[in-house]
C-alpha cells in the first residue's frame, strides 16, 4: 500500500515528466546572438513550449546542445543554413521570434540598421511564408517600425498575410518605463504600469504617463519621457561599440512570447500586451501600423485598445511621432514592393 505522501509524490513526478499536449513549437531566428541566447534560455523554461527550434547562420548546434540538457520538457534543436536547416527549423512552427540582425553602435539610429537588417528580415519572412504560413511572427530586429511592414508585405506577396498574427515587439519600452517610473516615484515596479504607444524608435515611442495613476511634476514628465524614448541609446553608449540591449530585451521578448503562448495554447483570456500591429487607429493619417495595448487571444490579436484619454503634452508627442512613423513604414513597404516590381 502507498501512503498519501507517496501517491502525491508519484503524481507530481508523472505530471512533471509528461510534456503538455497544449504546447507549441517555437522558433528563434538569430538564436546564437546577444538577444537570441538569453531569450532561448528563458523560453526553455516554458511548459507551453514542446519544441524550441533554434536557427542562426552560425553556432546553433552548440547553443542547442547546451540548452537541451536543462531538465524542462521541451525538445531543443539547432539549425544552420546547410541541409535545408531553415526549412527544418520552421516547419510546424506556431510562433517564430526574430531577433536576427545587426545591433547599433554609438552614434547610429535604428534606421541606420535598415540597409543590413531589411534584407535579413525579408529573407527570413520569405522562409516563414513558405514553411509556416500560419505561425505568429514576433519581430524584434530593428528598425521595428520598418521590419514589421517588411514581413507583412512578404506574407501578402505569398497571399498568406494574417494581420492578427504579426507583432512588432515593443515590450522593452514598457519594461523600461515601468522601471524608470518606479525609481522616480520610489514604488514597486508592480505599481508602475505605464502604457507606451506608437513605434519603437526615439520620438515614435510615446509614453502615456497621465494614464499611470501617479502624479508627476512637469520636470519629471519631461525627463521620464525622454529617458523612455531614448533608453536604448543609454545601453548602446554604455556598451561602447559592443552592441545594444540584449539581456533586458531577452526578458522583454520572453515576456511577450509567454503572454502569446498563454493566450494561444494556454487558452487564457484577458491577456494584454503593448505591441506594434496593423491598426486602424491612425490609418487616416496614413499610419498603417501602430503600437497600443492589445488583448491577445487564441488567434493572436483579439482586440486593439484605443489610445484612451491623453493630455496636451501627450497629444504633442503623438503629433511628433506620426510623420516619422509614417516614413519608417513606407520605407519598409517600398523595400519589398520595389524588389517585387
Ligand atoms: N525590438 C527591440 O526592442 C530591440 C531590438 N533589438 C534588435 O535586435 C537585433 C539583434 O540584436 P543582438 O542580438 O544584440 O545582435 P547580435 O549581433 O548579437 O545577434 C544577431 C544574430 O543574428 C544572426 N543573424 C544574422 N543574419 C542572420 C540570418 N540571415 N539568419 C539568421 N540569423 C542571422 C547573427 O549570426 C547573430 O547571431 C538588432 O537588430 C537589434 O537592433 C535590440 C534590442 C531591443
Ligand atoms: O537601442 C537599440 O538599438 C536597441 C533597441 O531597440 C532598444 O534597446 O530599445
Give CA separation, 270 vs 75, 168, 260, 290, 301, in Å. 29, 20, 11, 20, 11
Q: What is the CB neighbour count within 10 angstroms for residue 122?
A: 18
Say how many Å lie between the first and final Cα of the chain, rounded: 75
Which residues line the pocket of ligand 1, CB cutoff 6 A?
29-30, 32-36, 55-58, 99-104, 113, 117, 120, 124, 140-142, 144, 169, 172, 200, 243-246, 249
Tell me the binding residues: 30-36, 56, 104, 110, 117, 140-142, 176, 249
| Length, in residues, of the chain | 341
| 32 alpha carbon – ligand 2 mean position (Å) | 18
Q: What is the DSSP letter of 19?
A: P
H-helix or E-strand containing 24?
A: strand 24-29
pLDDT tens-digit series, residues 135-146: 999 999 999 999
**Which sign does the torsion angle of CA 138, 144, 145, 146 carry?**
negative
CA atoms within 13 A on the CB side of 195: 20
Taking each helix axis from N to C terminus, what angle separates 144-157 and 114-131, rounded to the nearest 10 degrees? 40
What is the pLDDT confidence band of residue 74, given thresholds at 50, 70 and 90? very high
DSSP three-state, residue 301: strand
Strand stretches in 88-172, DSSP E = 95-98, 136-139, 166-168
pTM: 0.94
- Per the prediction, the chain carries an average pLDDT of 94
DSSP 214-257: ----HHHHHHHHHHHHTHHHHHHHHHTTS-S--HHHHHHHHHHH
Mean pLDDT for the stretch of residues 60-71: 98
Which protein residue's CA is at the shortest distance from atom 20 of ligand 1?
Answer: 33
86 or 2, higher pLDDT? 86
Q: Whose CA is nearest to atom 7 of ligand 2?
A: 232
Return d(Cα 135, Cα 53) in angstroms, integer. 13
| pLDDT tens for each residue of 181-210 | 999 999 999 999 999 999 999 999 999 999
Question: Which ligand minimizes its atom distance to the CA of 106?
Answer: 2
CA-CA distances (angstroms) from residue 1 to 10, 11, 15? Answer: 13, 15, 21
From residue 315, give the alpha-carbon distance in Å to each of 201, 206, 311, 318.
17, 9, 6, 5
At residue 21, the pLDDT reads 59
Average pLDDT, stretch 113-119? 98
Q: Which is nearest to 98 in space by CA: 82, 122, 115, 81?
A: 122
Q: Which has the closest alpha carbon to 151: 304, 55, 318, 288?
A: 288
* Selected catalytic residue, list 51, 69, 200, 226: 200
> Among 254, 257, 256, 265, which residue's Cα sits nearest to residue 20?
265
Q: Which three cell numbers stand for residue 279?
A: 491598426
For 11-59, how does the pLDDT look when each residue is reduced to its tens digit (9 = 90+)? 433 333 334 458 999 999 999 999 999 999 999 999 999 999 999 999 9
Classified as helix, coil or strand, 122 is helix
pLDDT at 11: 40
Judge whether residue 95 has pLDDT over 50: yes
Torsion angle in degrees (nearest 10) through CA of 233, 234, 240, 244: -60
For residue 2, pLDDT over 60 is answered with no
C-alpha span between 82 and 27 (Å, rounded): 17
The C-alpha atoms of residue 296 and residue 9 are separated, in whole angstroms, by 36
Segment 243-270 shows an average pLDDT of: 98
Q: Report the pLDDT value the prediction gives residue 339, as an integer from 0 to 100.
A: 62
| Confidence at residue 3, expressed as pLDDT on a 0 to 100 scale | 46
For residue 32, the CA-to-ligand 1 centroid distance in Å is: 9
Residue 200 annotated to the active site: yes
Amino acid at each position: 500500500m502507498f501512503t498519501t505522501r507517496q501517491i502525491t509524490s508519484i503524481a507530481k513526478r508523472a505530471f512533471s515528466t509528461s510534456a503538455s499536449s497544449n504546447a507549441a513549437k517555437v522558433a528563434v531566428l538569430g538564436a546564437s546572438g546577444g538577444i537570441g541566447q538569453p531569450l532561448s534560455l528563458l523560453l526553455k523554461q516554458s511548459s507551453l513550449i514542446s519544441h524550441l527550434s533554434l536557427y542562426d547562420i552560425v553556432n546553433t548546434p552548440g547553443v542547442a546542445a547546451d540548452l537541451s540538457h536543462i531538465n524542462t520538457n521541451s525538445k531543443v534543436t539547432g539549425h544552420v543554413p546547410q541541409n535545408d536547416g531553415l526549412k527544418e527549423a520552421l516547419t510546424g512552427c506556431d510562433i517564430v521570434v526574430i531577433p536576427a540582425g545587426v545591433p547599433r553602435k554609438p552614434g547610429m539610429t535604428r534606421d541606420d540598421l535598415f540597409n543590413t537588417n531589411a534584407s535579413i528580415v525579408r529573407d527570413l519572412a520569405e522562409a516563414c511564408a513558405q514553411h509556416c504560413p500560419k505561425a505568429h511572427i514576433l519581430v524584434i530586429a530593428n528598425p521595428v517600425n520598418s521590419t514589421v511592414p517588411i514581413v507583412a508585405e512578404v506574407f501578402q506577396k505569398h497571399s498568406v498575410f494574417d494581420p492578427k498574427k504579426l507583432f512588432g515587439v515593443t515590450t522593452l519600452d514598457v519594461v523600461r518605463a515601468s522601471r524608470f517610473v518606479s525609481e522616480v516615484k520610489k514604488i514597486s515596479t508592480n505599481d508602475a504600469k505605464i502604457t507606451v504607444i506608437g513605434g519603437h524608435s526615439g520620438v515614435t515611442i510615446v509614453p502615456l504617463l497621465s494614464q499611470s495613476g501617479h502624479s508627476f511634476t512637469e520636470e519629471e514628465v519631461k525627463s521620464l519621457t525622454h529617458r523612455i524614448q531614448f533608453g536604448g541609446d543609454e545601453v548602446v553608449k554604455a556598451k561602447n561599440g559592443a552592441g545594444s540591449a540584449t539581456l533586458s530585451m531577452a526578458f522583454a521578448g520572453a515576456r511577450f512570447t509567454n503572454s502569446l503562448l498563454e493566450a494561444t495554447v494556454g487558452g487564457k483570456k484577458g491577456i494584454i500586451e503593448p505591441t506594434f500591429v496593423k491598426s486602424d487607429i491612425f490609418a487616416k493619417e496614413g499610419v498603417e501600423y501602430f503600437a497600443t495595448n492589445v488583448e491577445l487571444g487564441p488567434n493572436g490579436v483579439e482586440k486593439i485598445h484605443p489610445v484612451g484619454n491623453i493630455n496636451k503634452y501627450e497629444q504633442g508627442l503623438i503629433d511628433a511621432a506620426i510623420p516619422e512613423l509614417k516614413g519608417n513604414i513606407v520605407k519598409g513597404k517600398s523595400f519589398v514592393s520595389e524588389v517585387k516590381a
